[in-house]
C-alpha cells in the first residue's frame, strides 16, 4: 500500500480516513481532522487507541446472567453480594444500564434486552434476551421488575410485551416515572410531556 490517491494523500492516511468516516456522526472532514490528529500526537497515544479497540473486541463479552458487557462470565453487578437481588431493572442496551448506574439511585440487578421489538427493522421478541429474562423471573426471588426501556413507541411496546409475559409470576411490574425533566422550562415542554406530568402528579 505505497500508493497514493489523486488528492496527494498517502494510501495509509486515506485508508484511515475511510475507516474513521464510517463511524457514526463522523463525516469526511472530521475523519480527516482525526486522522491528522492521530499522525501528530505521540506514537504511544495513537497505538494505545488502536490497542483499546482491539482489546474491546477480543475481551468483552456479555454477562451470562444479565447480558451487560463484561470481561468475565458474570459482570460486576451480578457478582456483587451487596446488590438487592429482589429487584430487577430491564433496559434495552448496556449504555442505558450505565446511565442508570451513574445516577446512583438504584441498587438492584439488571437485565439487558440487547435491543427493542421493532417490526419495521425486522427485530422480533426472539432476537432479544426476553426468554432469559422470563427464566430469571421464574427461578429468582424478585418482588419487582422495573421496565426502563426508552420512552419511544418501540420501547413502550417492548415494555408492554414483556410485562404481559411476566403477568403469570408474583412480581410487581413498574416503569420509570414520566413527567417534566429537572432543569427544563414548562413553556417548551411538548403536549405529551405535560400530559404525562399531569397524569402522574405526585403529592407535595
The footprint of a copy of itself (CB under 8 A) covers 1-4, 6-13, 15-16, 18-20, 22-25, 30, 32-39, 43, 45-57, 59-60, 68-72, 75-77, 93-95, 97-98, 101-102, 110
User: Which C-beta is closer to a copy of itself: that of 18 or that of 168?
Assistant: 18
User: Which C-beta is closer to a copy of itself: that of 25 or that of 170?
Assistant: 25
Question: For residue 101, which of 132, 56, 131, 68 has the smallest C-alpha distance?
Answer: 68
Shortest separation between residue 32's beta carbon and a copy of itself, angstroms: 6
Shortest separation between residue 102's beta carbon and a copy of itself, angstroms: 5
- Chain position carrying cell 500526537: 41
SS3 content of the chain, % helix, strand, coil (to 5): 45, 15, 40
User: Which C-beta is closer to a copy of itself: that of 70 or that of 171?
Assistant: 70
What is the pairing mode between strands 69-70 and 61-62? antiparallel
User: Which C-beta is closer to a copy of itself: that of 79 or that of 86?
Assistant: 79
Shortest separation between residue 189's beta carbon and a copy of itself, angstroms: 22
DSSP per-residue codes, 38-85: HHHS-HHHHHHHHHHHHHHHHH-EE-TTT--EESSSS-TTTT-TTSEE
Shortest separation between residue 15's beta carbon and a copy of itself, angstroms: 5
Question: For residue 154, which of 119, 103, 190 has the smallest C-alpha distance?
Answer: 119
Element (H, E) at 110: strand 108-112
User: Which C-beta is closer to a copy of itself: that of 69 or that of 165?
Assistant: 69
* Residue 104 CB coordination number (10 Å): 7
Sign of CA dihedral 72, 74, 79, 83: positive
Element (H, E) at 145: strand 144-147
Shortest separation between residue 168's beta carbon and a copy of itself, angstroms: 30
User: Which C-beta is closer to a copy of itself: that of 97 or that of 166?
Assistant: 97
Shortest separation between residue 126's beta carbon and a copy of itself, angstroms: 19
Amino acid at each position: 500500500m505505497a500508493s497514493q490517491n489523486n488528492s496527494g494523500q498517502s494510501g495509509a492516511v486515506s485508508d484511515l480516513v475511510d475507516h474513521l468516516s464510517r463511524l457514526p456522526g463522523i463525516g469526511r472532514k472530521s475523519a480527516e481532522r482525526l486522522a491528522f490528529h492521530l499522525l501528530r500526537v505521540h506514537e504511544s497515544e495513537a497505538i494505545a487507541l488502536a490497542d483499546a479497540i482491539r482489546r474491546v473486541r477480543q475481551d468483552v463479552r456479555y454477562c451470562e446472567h444479565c447480558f451487560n458487557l463484561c470481561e468475565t462470565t458474570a459482570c460486576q453487578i451480578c457478582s456483587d453480594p451487596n446488590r438487592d437481588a429482589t429487584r430487577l431493572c430491564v433496559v434495552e442496551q448496556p449504555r442505558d444500564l450505565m446511565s442508570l448506574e451513574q445516577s446512583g439511585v438504584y441498587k438492584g440487578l439488571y437485565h439487558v434486552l440487547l435491543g427493542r421489538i421493532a417490526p419495521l427493522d425486522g427485530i422480533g421478541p426472539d432476537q432479544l434476551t426476553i426468554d432469559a429474562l422470563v427464566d430469571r423471573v421464574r427461578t429468582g426471588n424478585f418482588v419487582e421488575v422495573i421496565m426502563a426501556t426508552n420512552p419511544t413507541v418501540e420501547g413502550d411496546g417492548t415494555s408492554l410485551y414483556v410485562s404481559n409475559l411476566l403477568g403469570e409470576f408474583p412480581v410487581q411490574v413498574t416503569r420509570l416515572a414520566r413527567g417534566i425533566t429537572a432543569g427544563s422550562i414548562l413553556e417548551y415542554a411538548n403536549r405529551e410531556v405535560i400530559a404525562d406530568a399531569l397524569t402522574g402528579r405526585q403529592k407535595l
